[in-house]
Structure 1
């Protein structure tokens, strides 16, 4: 399977982590949102293909309304795709979601996209009145409805989680089909579900070696073939950070990554993390941290090993200062992406 270096695209993802300043003092959530807009502007200026923001409803993340942040970016950028990483579809309404993003697509001149998923947190379920016992059903039915809406045709649909629709038009109409990805974390059933709905796959690889996800990429393509449609794009979303050299990048990221990992770990009953786990992920796992050459080499290996069409770096991982995030974005766009393309041109085929 050949890889065209010019066809692979590169993105940046953020959840809008609430940050600290260079003195270590917490930054208000409102300022974090304004900083994310500045980060998106820089990503556009340095040639990155995609900029995606996640949805959370927690004190450690500032963005609960991705479409609002992206609408702000639509008026301050000119070329970059504006997407989600991810929208929690289970606790949203597919009709309203489509209307919001058809509006964003109009504002941005055709640059909106969606990545939908079940999310890694469950705060939105009680917040918006959805029972957790319906976790699977909500996502399955809402993805089914969203797939119908994406056709742009009047919708006839029925299910158990909302009132049925009959020949219902949705406004404003899109000028094109809205690009929509399904994010999965490694469940075979989720991979097949994305293939069944004929939607591209975004693999969230946040721990361990990327190569272990190769069977999921194969399963996605095999399922699509059996369902009678052609190959669909596959992307990878993984965390990382860039600085001038490996030592600086690791020193900057380590305390924030460990802080973030332990905050979430306490909620989920995980054991404490430390520098040993960080170093293991940086050296052998799914953490793309270092100077430009180190990160470019690792991204190129992942693209080659999995045969993917897109790589998104989750550049914000814990309360890292805005200034360091901006440097990371600039290096990713100006140094890493061109270097990855060079490396792919040197080894264009999967082993």
Structure 2
């Protein structure tokens, strides 16, 4: 199982509740990714958002910068909002990162849980599903064909067109991110793409039928099971003392939940919700190393994971605390998980 970190580049806020300029957070991100590489984590993913509470709207720029200060870690999106992007440009951007990093670039494609990218780039939300299906089809064809001829509904056709540069091995690793819908699982399983499930609420065990459904679809369409890959993306934060880190992180985490919730009609996020999420049947892995090790191994036993992604910057915690959390993940949690999986 690969162990890594996903981030959205959550912005810092001043004492008046206003987001700070993005530059500081972006520079911190590069230092954090560099540390992830140094402590031996397997991958890093950065999300795409177009809101004031996130500093990253173009994951490719951050990943290109990170590729110059890292040596081993895989670098990808988490996610690329493919529905409102141009698959040709996405492939070219990530192939360029792949060349700079000597083959470490990945794409995680998703439909996006936020909608701000659609009006910015001139797309209609009523085409939400159709846009993703068509653009995923084009991205997959670009990834395996060059030159390419292609015709769709929402984009200009391609006629024997070369798409350059090419990835290091002429093919990029492409994941699909899904939430909790069988339709998304079916789409990924039919084309044989690896899937990352975002489990950001409820009891993770409730997702088990979707994991099984994905495997069933994958096998039904006769894809090679030796290439079967499935992962989870979950909110995490680590410290030396479980109660202390929970007490310190709750105000940061809850404020971001409430910022999002105010635009979606959610009830205010409570400490009881936070504590339940941290419990044995919850979706949060926030505490010390031993708790995290146990919970990650339980998730692996439940789902048969090949990848675990710790989403670690919800709410924009301080750079110092993030660096400590990364260090604990890489030096204390990951080695013990890997050791247990070998037995």
Q: TM-score range by the shorter chain?
A: over 0.9
The equivalences for 1:247-326 within 5 A come to 247-283=243-279, 284-326=281-323
Q: 1:11 aligns with which of 4, 7, 13?
A: 4
How does the TM-score come out when normalised to structure 1?
A: 0.93
Alignment partner of 1:150: what SS? Answer: helix
State the secondary structure of the residue aligned to 2:144: coil
Partner Cα distance (2:150, 2:181) in 1: 27
Say if 1:304 and 1:344, in contact at 8 Å, map to a contact too: no
Deviates more, 1:325-334 or 1:314-323: 314-323
Deviation at 1:161, TM superposition (A): 0.6
- Asked whether 1:238 is paired with 2:238, we answer no
Using the TM superposition, name which of 67-76 and 169-178 deviates more: 169-178
**Higher RCO (Cα < 8 Å, 6 or more apart):** 1
Q: Deviations over 1:237-286 (max 9, x none)?
A: 00110000111221121111111111111101111111011111111311
Kindly state the Cα deviation for residue 97 of structure 1 after the two structures are TM-superposed. 0.3
| Corresponding residue for residue 124 of structure 1 | 117
**Cα RMSD after superposing both structures:** 1.5
Deviation at 1:115, TM superposition (A): 0.4
Equivalent of 2:106, from 104, 113, 134? 113
Match of 1:4 in 2: none
- Can you give the 5+ residue segments of structure 1 that lack an aligned partner in the other structure? 1-7, 347-351
Distance 2:146 2:191 in 1: 16
Question: Is the contact between residue 293 and residue 339 of structure 1 (CA under 8 Å) also seen in structure 2?
Answer: no
Aligned to 1:79: 72
* C-alpha distance in structure 1 between counterparts of 2:156 and 2:69, whole Å: 39
Q: Relative to 1, partners in 2 of residues 1:85 and 1:130: Cα closer, same or farther, differing over 3 Å? A: same
**Per-residue deviation at 1:295?**
0.8
Q: CA deviation at 1:20?
A: 4.8
Q: Which residues of structure 2 form unaligned runs of 5+? A: none
Which residue of structure 2 aligns with residue 164 of structure 1?
157
Out of 162, 179, 197, which is 1:203 matched to? 197
Q: Alpha-carbon deviation of 1:26?
A: 5.8
2:232 aligned counterpart, secondary structure:
strand
